Structures are given as C-alpha cells and as structure tokens.
Structure 1
C-alpha cells in the first residue's frame, strides 16, 4: 500500500508527495524533496512492484543454479577474475560497503544528501538492478524520517559511479557509520533502533546496486539546474534595474532587434528586460549605446538559458535511468555487464553549466563596477554613497562591496576549468577512463554559490541606485520592478552612513537561494 506523506507548507497548505515508480521524475521534484517542500512515496502500482520483485527473484534463482554474476559471485573491479566461494557470497556486499568508507572533505549538506537519496531510489526503481522491494522501502523511509547518511564530499572519480560516497548510504542501511537525525550527528545503529527498524542484511547484489551508480553527481546536478535557472531570471531583472538606475537606452532590448538573431533564450531574456523597462519609454535618452554589460546582457544570459535546455534533458535522462552494473531483467531473464555507472553526461553538463553561470557572475560584476563609478553611472554618487552634508567626505558606500564582488567573480571564473578532462586511471587500470562527474557537480554548485553572492551585492547596489536616482521624484518603475525593490527594502535598509554590510549580504544570499520571489512567468 502506498503511504501518503504530505508536507505542510507556510500558510498551512499541504503539498502532495512525489511518487517514485512507473513514471519519470523531474529535476523540480528532486529539488522539492531535497529542500523539504514535498515528501516522497513509492507507487502502489502492482506492475511496478511486480517488476522489482521479479528482478530480485531471478537473481536469486540464478545464483542458486550456480550462475556467475560480476560483483555477486566475483570480486570487484580488477578483482572480477576472483571467484567468491558460495559460502562467502552473502558477506561480500558488507565488505564492499566497508572498504569504500574512506571519503574525506566536508560532509554533504542535508539538502544535498536528500537529493542523493532521491536519485539513488529513482534509479533502483527502474527495475533493472535486482534489488528487493524492502531496499526501496528503506530508502523511502530514510527520506520520510529525515535520517540522512553523513556523506563526505570527496573521493569519487565518477566511474564506477559514486562508489565511496554512496557507500555511506549503504552503511546506514546496515546500521553502520553516522547519520544526521533531528539536528544532531549520531551513530546510525541507535537511530535505526529508535525507529524500530532492523538493520538490513544486504542481498548479494544490493551493496553494488546502491554504490555502483551516478546518484551523487545526479542529485547535485538537479539542485544546480534549479539554482541556475532562477539566476538567469534574477540577472534579467537586475539588468533592467541597473539600466534604469544609470538612465540606459531601453532600445537595446527592443523585440524587433532580437527577431533577427533568433536564439530562444536570448529572445526570452531580452523580452523580460524590455517589459521591465516599459516605464522608461518616455524617459530622456542620454546616449545612443550603453556599455556591453548592459547592452549585451541578453546575449550573455541567453546562452545560459539555452544551455539549460540540453542540460536539463541530460540530467533528467540520467536521473531516470538504471545506472549500475550489471543490468538485470527479471522478466526476460538476462544479465548484461556494461558501464552505465559512467557519469559522462553529468560531467559534461556540469562543466558546461558552471561556465555559463560564471559568465553571469562576470556580467554582474561589470554592471556593479559601472554603478559605483561616477564616470560611468550618469550622475549617481561615487560608490553609490547615500551620505550627504559634511559626513559625505568620510563615507564610502559600496566601495568594499565592489571589491568583494570582484573577488567572488574571480574565484567563480577560476573554477570553470573542466573537471571532465582530468580523467585518471584507477583501480589497477580497470577504471582507466573515468568521468569526474561528481567533482564537476561540486564545482558547479560552488560557482553557483559565488555567483549568488555577486547577485546579492548587485541587488543591493541597483536598489540603492534606483533610490538615489529618484530621490526627488516619483520612481519610474513598472509594478513588478517596484514590488521587487520594495521586497529588497524589507530585508535591507538604504545605505546612508557606512555600516558593516556582511549580514545584509548574507540575508540577500539566503533570499536568493530560497527562490521565493516569483520572477516573470512560471519556471521553465
């Protein structure tokens, strides 16, 4: 029976759970479960459950008949030529989980960990991994009770999948290592016992099925796509406000101009900015052409939006795939050995996305540099200082914030070196060409974080610039832009006298990352 888990949202409404089994999972659904906005349940479809059980039953029958299956009756990787004695087959999965318990680095956040659990569950639910229904149920229960394996971020080369980080998921299932539970880091076994869960005894292929896949890189990629999509919208709104603050030329975004260069994302972005600048049609035009960071903003943001199309396609295909090895079909009774654990599509997608996102950081850094410079901002105070009178001489406004944004941008740009080209030969040259997909995904999330910090700085700067520009007149803003500026002012006050801005910036970063402010139409 399908157990319903409804998540209560602000205002008392309930969000229906995401269902796993018999249907494609979307990036948006993974992200919603990861941030706690929706629950997750297994489908009660009889055919889905039958297929899962058929795979496990066929594998069990094959082993009983003396069949040979990689990682079940043999060693792993280069040790695939080593035959495991029948009396030790049942112990092999536990050895696999234990010797891969060597991850290092920071631990994945709760949000990232949930995304990983969802990605692994969705892959196993394709029905080609030979795992038992009980294993799917336990993964779903981990998410329902928010029992989160403590997963080190470093140690995966992205083939044979995310072995080391996913070993921490397998270890939790058997009651080993540590978990996050109710705000604390605890040993896994007492947490399982407190929930009246018996530790699982992994069936012969289940350790490999959990670990030998792309769930870490794919879960993180889902979160990266969601954040990047929102950033493209935010950059469009910020560009419009920067143009207004500096009395830019709205004609740069005229739909007739973009009709002759029909990149879809570029047209979409230009249209958003054009609509935001509708109130500027009667404003005085002070120059024929703005600098590139304003005039060419759709050409920069549009690249990211168009890239998100194929990136979303490839990430969702990986998410909804069987990506372990070997692949088992219980109905047709065959086992095929391959390399579906290879994370090449995710690696390339994340390398591409981090480059597109870093370009957004660079664009916004340039816009901020224009805004704070009285030589280029067309009459705004130097450094956007809001101070007046004698104290104006000792106030420096956004000077240091611009320096900080430049540093964050430089770090984001530095991280665009593609991870996927740094393949290493590992595991006695069995894994002699690997994807580095998990490193690419982690890099992309770091680039996103840095770019969100640049965006936070620019959001404050454009809001300051708008207030300074219209200090003695009614602001010439569309309703959407006016509401946006009012929202910012609810979080951060106008900067008149110098003050430490760290906590203001942190509030803005958190606001951006929450993605609670609707921008333009519904998310693509």
Structure 2
C-alpha cells in the first residue's frame, strides 16, 4: 500500500504510542517525525557520548568492547571496536522465509524507532534520524520473516534494518526491489556508519514481534466484531431465538466483554417477539453460546493491548545505557515473553471464532437443521434445483481453513530451544508466536469471508420463505452492501474472485461495526 498523500504527523519524543499509531503508520496514514525539542535531542546524544567516553577510558561494555553473546569474554582490540557493529549485522544475514510485507515493515521500523527514542540505548540522534528517513521516504528493508527465537530479541530480521541503514542489502522502494544504497541516494541520504553500541541497539530488541503483535491486535478486534454481526445474521437465517441474548440473562454472568457481545447481538436483532418455533426453546450452542465464545476474545483484548503497548513503549535492548547516572546495566530486556504469551493467547481466541462460525455455517447449509431453508442454501428452483449445489464446496473449504487455524493454536512459547553455545538457553519464541497468530487471523478472515457469502444467501432465502425477522438499521445496511457485492447464487458459479474481494473488504474494515 503506498503512503497516503497527506499522512498525519506522529511525534516521536519518547512518550507512549498506541497500537493505533502503529497501524496508522503501517498503512501510510501517519508519518513518524522525531521531536525537534532540544531537551529530547540532548538526552539521546548524551547516551552515545557516554558510550564514547567509556571506550576512551577503557571501560568494558558488552557488545561495544567485547564480542557478542557467548563471545562476551572476548575482548575487542581498541583499534577494531568501530568495525564490530558491521560484523554483527553481517553475520546475522541468515534470514529465510517470506519477506515481511510493506505494512509489517513500516510497523517494525516504527517499533524500533520508538524503543530507541526512550533514550537509554546509547545511540546517536543520527541513527534515529536515519530510521525516520526510511519511513518518510518509504524505503523498506526486505526483512525475512524467519530466523528469530525472540531472545536476544529479533537479531536476524533486524540485521536487515541495520544493514539498510548502512546502505547494504535490498529494499522495497517506489514499487521495486533495489539496492539499499541506490534508494538512499535517490533521496540524498548517505549510508550510516554505526557507532560502537548502535548495531546491537538496532538488533537486540523485540521490534519485529511487537510490530506484528500491534497489527494482529487490530485485525483480531475487527474479527470479533464481525463474528458478532455474522452471528446475528445466522440467527435470522435459521429462525433462531433472539432471547438467548437477554440482558437479564447475561447480568448473572458478569464477564464484561461477554456482556458487551450479547448487547451487540440484542441491538442487531432488535426483537422482543417469542421464538418462531415455540417447541424449540434452545438453539444449538454455536448460536446460543456465541457471546461466550466471542466474549473470551472481547475480554482478552484490553489485557492484550496492555502487554503489547507496554513492550512497544519499552527500552528492550541490552545493555541499557543510563547516561544521567553514568551506569551501564546488563540485563535481558530483549526477552519477548510477554509478546509470546499475548500472541499464543490471541491465536487461541481467534481460532475459536473460526470454529464458532464454521459450526454456524454447517447448521445453516444443512436442511436437517436450518428450519426450512434449502440444502446448501441453493436458490435454484424446479428442475434446476437438482443440478445446483449452492454452498456445498464453500462449506468444505471453510472447514479446511478452520482446521488449519485450530492446528496452529499450539503455543509457540513452550518450544524454547537452547541456542548460541547455551548462552541463549531460554528463549521466548515470541516472533514465531506472532507469525503463527497472524496466520490464524488470516485463516479466520477466510472463514469470515465464507460466512459473509453464507449469511447474504441465508437471510435472503429466509425472507423469501417466510418474511424472516427484521433487524436494526446497521445490520440491514450491511446486508444491503453485501447484496450489492454478491448477487444471489442461483446457478452454481465459482466464488473465488468474490471471496478475495470480501477478504480485501474485511482487511480494509469496510463495515463500521458497533460504536461502543
């Protein structure tokens, strides 16, 4: 996605950012700009100056005058200290897998910039300005997604950021892959020469997993809202019981998110009438218990936000350089355990949305359970009905996507591996957890696309059959929009193009869902 022609400025001055700031930057709707405040800039430079003084005074600083990791006992001759940062990003050039997409890459650049802007990483203002310039000119390092164990941070993927700052490796720029040096030169930028602590400061942090987590959070929040709206449509399509979401009923089980989902369903269904089928007092769980399923994610989102934003606004490299107190503090802030747990938790809750909707679809396409709707929701009539198969194949695909999402819910964080001569002997796997979570979200979005086809077809057939139940203005408007995108399926047709269009609409948040 190209940058917006008029992005809003986003001040980077060490103060906290929110997930929405990362999402806006990733989509090109915001452009980070370093503060010009003299106090902020002086604070940044004091850290770099303190590191320089330590080196001049023969101070021993990990990764500055020593080797890295298990090699911390190896002293670097003073004449070679300046070469060490380049060696760090060079030997970490071992990433494989897909490249992060442009939105993910912008998010990574912002996450690293925000961490370094806390002013305790011992880097110069020039380094922050070079990161700012990459974002301003949309010079996006090609970052392989695989190769990080999540401690010491995202070393391998972030090595590609460090190399690009120095004019090495490749970038995505103006719609093409090109050498980083060429893209920098096109905007009058010179390759950076990293100061002694700067290679470590760029790479030894959690920017990749945190960036991906920010994007995952936003998509998961929207999926929860879509799953709620789709449930309301399926209640109508299957002539279900709207009283399952009664306010008094939910008052006695006071999970706030679950209550919020029930309230959204009540607002969508806007029905005080008794069940259409008085012999069927209770719908199956995938309808009746929808607030209890979606509500788990809804209740988790605030906690997930807190963990992600805490990491986003942290200094998460090693060592920490406190120039004010003239202290060098060696620790493990690069450890991505909170992001790992958040992503493992999120992917579980999101996969349950896919499972819920898959079950709803299985009921509404089955003539034994759909209370009068045709099998597979085919709209063909007469002799043509026998020839047409409606949503039969789509239900199979939705089941496949759901199964794959559920398979990926195994927590990545429990698969710690001892690496790097047993120096990194307990690692977070946070980046793998974040990638897994995004894949679960992607699969769930595909299930949601299938369900949008299903509810458009199901509600139309219900209303043609017996009038169906009315809904409030917002879901009726969404139904009308779906009808404009999806002609009723009478004769069998391939749906892949329409599904991809629906996926784009989902990821673009095409429908406004609930104002609470």
Fold conserved (TM > 0.5)? Answer: yes
Aligned twin of 1:518 = 512
Q: What residue is the counterpart of 1:426 in the other structure? A: 419
| Distance in 2, Cα, partners of 1:521 & 1:294 | 23
- 1:310 is displaced (CA, Å) by 1.1
* Mapping 1:7-26, distance limit 5 Å: 7-8=4-5, 14-26=6-18
Match of 1:41 among 9, 17, 33: 33
Residues paired across the two proteins, number: 512
Matched, 1:495 2:486: no
Q: Are positions 1:167 and 2:159 aligned together?
A: yes
CA contact (8 A) 1:167 1:211 kept: yes
Counterpart among 473, 480, 486 of residue 479 in structure 1: 473
Q: 1: distance between equivalents of 2:9 and 2:277?
A: 52
Residue 193 of structure 1 corresponds to which residue in structure 2? 185
Unaligned runs of 5+ in 1: 1-5, 9-13
Superposed displacement of residue 477, structure 1:
2.1
Whether 1:70 and 2:62 are equivalent positions in the alignment is yes
Q: In the aligned structure 2, how far is the partner of 1:314 from the partner of 1:69? A: 30
Work out whether 1:136 is the aligned partner of 2:128. Answer: yes
In 2, are the aligned partners of 1:362 and 1:409 still within 8 Å (CA)?
Answer: yes
Give the aligned partner of residue 384 of structure 2.
391
Cα deviation digits, residues 218-238 of structure 1 (max 9, x gap): 000000000001111111100
Question: Which structure 2 residues correspond to residues 371-382 of structure 1 after superposition, within 5 A?
Answer: 371-382=364-375
Match of 2:94?
A: 102
1:205 to 194, 197, 204: 197
Partner of 1:3: none
Return the match for 1:274 from 266, 281, 286.
266
Q: Is the contact between residue 409 and residue 450 of structure 1 (CA under 8 Å) also seen in structure 2? A: yes
Contact kept, 8 Å, 2:412 with 2:430, in 1: the verdict is yes
Distance in 2 (alpha carbons) for counterparts of 1:176 and 1:79: 25
Corresponding residue SS for 1:321: coil
For 1:444, which of 418, 432, 437 is the aligned residue? Answer: 437
Report the Cα distance in structure 2 between the residues aligned to 1:283 and 1:257, rounded to whole angstroms. Answer: 16
Counterpart among 494, 506, 514 of residue 500 in structure 2: 506
Determine which of 52, 60, 69 is the counterpart of 2:52. 60
In structure 2, the gaps of 5 or more residues are none
Q: Is the 8 A contact 1:19 1:43 kept in 2?
A: yes
- Mean CA deviation greater in 183-192 or 314-323: 183-192
Distance 2:187 2:483 in 1: 45
Find the residue that maps to 1:106 and give its secondary structure.
Answer: strand
- Kindly indicate whether the alpha-carbon contact (under 8 Å) linking 1:217 and 1:438 is maintained by their aligned counterparts in 2: yes
Would you say 1:289 and 2:282 are equivalent positions? yes
> Hey, what's the Cα distance between the residues in 2 that align with 1:279 and 1:256?
15
- Of the three residues 228, 231, 256, the one matched with 2:223 is 231
Aligned to 1:420, the other structure's residue is in SS state helix
SS in 2 for 1:471: helix
| CA offset digits 1:440-463 (Å, max 9, x no partner) | 000000000000000110111011
The one-character-per-residue Cα deviations of 1:399-455 (angstroms, maximum 9, x if unpaired) are 000000000000000000000000000000000000000000000000000000001
Aligned to 1:461: 454
Contact 1:158 1:342 in 2 (8 A): yes
Matched residue, 1:302: 295
- Offset, 1:516: 3.0
Query: Within 2, Cα distance between the matches of 1:56 and 1:147?
Result: 25
Partner in structure 2 of residue 158 of structure 1: 150
Report if aligned partners of 2:390, 2:489 keep a CA contact under 8 Å in 1. Answer: yes
* TM-score, normalised via structure 2 length: 0.97
RMSD of the TM alignment (CA)? Answer: 1.3
Aligned counterparts of 1:354 and 1:368: Cα–Cα separation in 2:
21
Matched residue SS, 1:306: helix
